[in-house]
């Protein structure tokens, strides 16, 4: 009987940040609340950043996408802290008009449509909300069009967001820039009067510099921190 109980015991959540980010990404839909509670307890509470190992093809098999070599997408993460509560945060994340909230993001147009019931998510009848977005913007002075898929999931005291581009970003005619992959996963937990934001990205981008360049990655990380700073302002912090 003891051997049977041991065999049926659930796998513990990983403690390593790299494995933790991958779990949130790959098991966003399928993980049960017990596993996610264990995973949330392992989110580091100190501000930090680091590299993520590359995604395998199996890691993105659960979402719709085109033909990409996932090993060409470089991964990294940041852990950031800011004040306020998850109750303040949620409406900012699911707001349809993201462009008016993040005016410095460079959006020229932004159209988000829910793919599931926002009323059910707000009332707590559903733990998830999904959406699709068509946007246009400018990256370092070059215009582009982007389609992305995203959504939120609540699990106890944990809030997660997942976003990806199912097809490459289209840059303006004549540009040789490419933005082929973008897989993003975020997790928030409260810690005292703050909440902690774990933010992971795997991206394949070539704008003269590529995401194999530490300089471009560092610039992107700074943008992620600026986004968090603006989110704190939106939360009333």
- pLDDT-derived band at 6 (thresholds 50, 70, 90) equals very low
How many angstroms separate the CA atoms of 171 and 177, rounded?
Answer: 7
Out of 33-42, 70-79, 130-139, 227-236, which region has the weakest mean confidence (pLDDT)?
A: 227-236
CB contact at 8 A, 58 and 176: no
Half-sphere exposure of 85 (CA within 13 A, CB side): 3
Decide if 194 is inside a domain: yes
Q: For residue 101, which of 227, 6, 204 has the smallest C-alpha distance?
A: 227
Decide if 82 is inside a domain: yes
pLDDT of residue 10: 59
- Sorted by sequence, the CB contacts under 8 Å of residue 206 that are 6+ apart come out as 177, 178, 179
Mean pLDDT of all residues in 208-231? 91
Decide if 227 is inside a domain: yes
- Classify each residue of 48-86 as buried b or exposed e, where b means 16 or more C-beta atoms within 10 Å of its C-beta: ebeebeebeeebbeeeeeeebebebbbbbbbbbebebeb
Mean pLDDT of all residues in 57-62? 93
- pLDDT-derived band at 4 (thresholds 50, 70, 90) equals very low
Number of domain units in the chain? 1
pLDDT of residue 128: 97
pLDDT of residue 82: 86
Q: Which domain holds residue 192?
A: 13-234
Decide if 226 is inside a domain: yes
pLDDT of residue 61: 92
Q: Is the whole-model pTM more than 0.85?
A: yes
How many angstroms separate the CA atoms of 163 and 181, rounded?
Answer: 11
Out of 12-16, 87-91, 155-159, 206-210, which region has the weakest mean confidence (pLDDT)?
A: 12-16
For residue 231, the tally of other CB atoms under 10 A from its CB is 20
CB contact at 8 A, 236 and 109: no
Residue 207 CA to its chain's centroid (Å): 22
Decide if 130 is inside a domain: yes
Decide if 102 is inside a domain: yes
Look up tokens 């900012």; give the residue: 92
For residue 150, with 0-12 CB atoms within 10 Å meaning exposed, 13-18 middle and 19 or more buried, which class applies?
buried
Decide if 3 is inside a domain: no
Percent of the chain with pLDDT over 70: 95
Report the chain's mean pLDDT, rounded to a whole number: 91
- pLDDT-derived band at 64 (thresholds 50, 70, 90) equals confident
How many angstroms separate the CA atoms of 128 and 149, rounded?
Answer: 14
Any idea what DSSP says for residue 223? Answer: H
Decide if 117 is inside a domain: yes
CATH number of the domain residue 223 falls in: 3.30.530.20
Residue 104 pLDDT more than 60? yes
Q: For residue 147, which of 231, 64, 48, 52 has the smallest C-alpha distance?
A: 64
How many angstroms separate the CA atoms of 183 and 64, rounded?
Answer: 12
- Sorted by sequence, the CB contacts under 8 Å of residue 47 that are 6+ apart come out as 78, 79, 80, 81
Please give the helix or strand (H or E) that residue 4 lies within, else none.
Answer: helix 2-8
């Amino acid at each position: 009987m003891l051997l049977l109980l041991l065999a049926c015991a659930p796998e513990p959540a990983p403690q390593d940040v790299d494995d933790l980010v991958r779990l949130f990404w790959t098991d966003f839909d399928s993980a049960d609340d017990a596993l996610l509670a264990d995973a949330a307890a392992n989110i580091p509470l100190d501000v930090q950043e680091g590299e993520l190992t590359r995604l395998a093809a199996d890691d993105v098999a659960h979402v719709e996408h085109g033909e990409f070599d996932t090993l060409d997408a470089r991964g990294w993460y940041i852990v950031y802290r800011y004040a306020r509560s998850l109750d303040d945060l949620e409406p900012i994340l699911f707001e349809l008009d993201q462009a008016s909230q993040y005016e410095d993001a460079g959006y020229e147009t932004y159209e988000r449509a829910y793919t599931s019931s926002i009323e059910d998510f707000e009332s707590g009848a559903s733990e998830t909300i999904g959406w699709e977005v068509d946007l246009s913007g400018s990256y370092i002075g070059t215009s582009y069009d982007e389609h992305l898929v995203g959504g939120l999931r609540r699990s106890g005291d944990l809030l997660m967001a997942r976003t990806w581009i199912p097809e490459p970003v289209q840059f303006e005619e004549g540009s040789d820039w490419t933005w082929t992959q973008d897989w993003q996963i975020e997790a928030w937990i409260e810690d005292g009067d703050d909440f902690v934001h774990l933010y992971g990205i795997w991206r394949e981008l070539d704008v003269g510099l590529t995401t194999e360049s530490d300089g471009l990655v560092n610039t992107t990380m700074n943008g992620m921190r600026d986004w968090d700073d603006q989110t704190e302002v939106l939360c009333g912090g």
